[in-house]
Amino acid sequence: MARVLITGSADGLGLMAAQRLSAQGHAVTLHARSEIRGEDARRACPKLERVLVGDLASLAETRALAAAANATGPYDAVIHNAAVGYTIGKRAETVDGLEQHFQINVLAPYVLTALMTPPSRLVYLSSGMHRGGTPDLSDAQWKTRRWNGSQAYSDTKLHDTTLAFAIARRWPTVLANSVSPGWVATKMGGAGAPDDLPAASVTQSWLAVSDDPAAKVTGQHLYHQEREDVHPATRDERFQDALLAYCAQLSDVPLPVVG
């Protein structure tokens, strides 16, 4: 039995992964951004070990979530599933004055990774849209660019894959990978999404707990349990280091040395 924490798991793919892992007998901790959503998640997945609450749009709450996770851990695996989908409206800022896509999709998993006791396995949810991301951090907060929600989302998914690969390189004792779940009919993906919804939570769950040699890899990007090509920038060690340094600067949380 493995102990697994899944962020952003009150609904959608995170909840599906939790239900899958719980049914397999693993001890799952869900995460929700509010107590109300946490109670909804517990009703949807009654075999949970616990629910942790924290809004990833707040650095203070993200730090508190990491502390709460450490108090109930350690975990064998963490699936960084939480994300906000792209918006067609205006740029929005969090309470910390950061662009919300970047803070929730990238900075929050970085902070949790840096502050939590390292698990044996880390899984970061990315997207096929990462291939359209821009490997340029000079305006990652969209303060000068004309707002484009789809591009902002693609950029953060590029960052998530890069973060997975950077952690795999920096922390050799931890298996760190990214996953594309496909374009599926979740609240984020929309009702017309064409990919297989039941299959969308399989790969991240498998990477988190399986003893299959194919699941015990690191520094890979997978789609439906198969390795997939990535944007070349995600393999660029200079870009990886720049992203880590940028996240450390924004959060005032350095990445520790592990292994």
* Measured distance CA(102)–CA(142) in Å, rounded: 10
* Measured distance CA(97)–CA(143) in Å, rounded: 11
Are the beta carbons of 220 and 124 closer than 8 angstroms?
no
**157: annotated active-site residue:** yes
Pairing of strands 77-80, 121-125: parallel
Backbone phi, then psi, for 30, in 5-degree steps?
-90, 160
Which residue's entry shows tokens 């439906």? 224
Q: Please tell me which residue in 157, 187, 216, 246 is annotated as part of the active site.
A: 157
Q: Please tell me which residue in 143, 153, 187, 216 is annotated as part of the active site.
A: 153
Residues pairing with 172 in the sheet: none
What do you get for the CA distance between the two ends of the chain, in Å?
Answer: 24
Residues designated as active site: 153, 157
